[in-house]
Amino acid sequence: MERLGIGVPGGVLGCVVGDVPGTEGTIMTPDRPGLTVGARIRTLRRARGLTQDRLADSTGVSRSAVAQWEGDRAGHSAGMLRRIAEALGVSVGLLRDGWDGDPGDAPLTPQETALLQLYRHCSPEDRSVLMHVAEKIAASSEAG
């Protein structure tokens, strides 16, 4: 078990990490945003019963190019993402970000889930300090 400490005015905000669910790394699927663009392409292609050859034909590239996309060994330009998304019947946002709706309604990322779990394990006093710090960080981010 590890103790996470964040320096704040007047002391350290600390929470115990280790037995907190959601703090471990996870491999994501298309409905979970941590998946790479290439892995989303592969997962969606397979879900639609397409071979790499069929996706290549649909997008006007070679099968090798599709394999490179899926392995994240080739870049994903905006124009190519549009062609891939069209061939797979999804939005570019789904390929790029793993989410197709309002960002406020997006599923929590593993980091967001971990932060929420850590918050829930903090004392009421530490929660108050954490909220204060988060509000200051958010305000400075909006101003900059």
All structural domains of the chain, each given as residue ranges with its CATH number in brackets, are 2-20+106-143 (no CATH), 40-104 (1.10.260.40)
pTM exceeds 0.85 for this model? no
Q: How confident is the model at residue 91 (pLDDT cuts 50, 70, 90)?
A: confident
Mean pLDDT value across residues 104-126: 79
48 vs 103, more confident:
48
Give the 3-state DSSP-derived string for the chain, with helices as H, strands as E and coil as C: CEEEEEEECCEEEEEEECCCCCCCCCCCCCCCCCCCHHHHHHHHHHHCCCCHHHHHHHHCCCHHHHHHHHCCCCCCCHHHHHHHHHHHCCCHHHHHHCCCCCHHHCCCCHHHHHHHHHHHCCCHHHHHHHHHHHHHHHHHHHHC
* Percent of residues, the chain, with pLDDT higher than 90: 24
Rounded CA-CA distance 52/63 in Å is 6
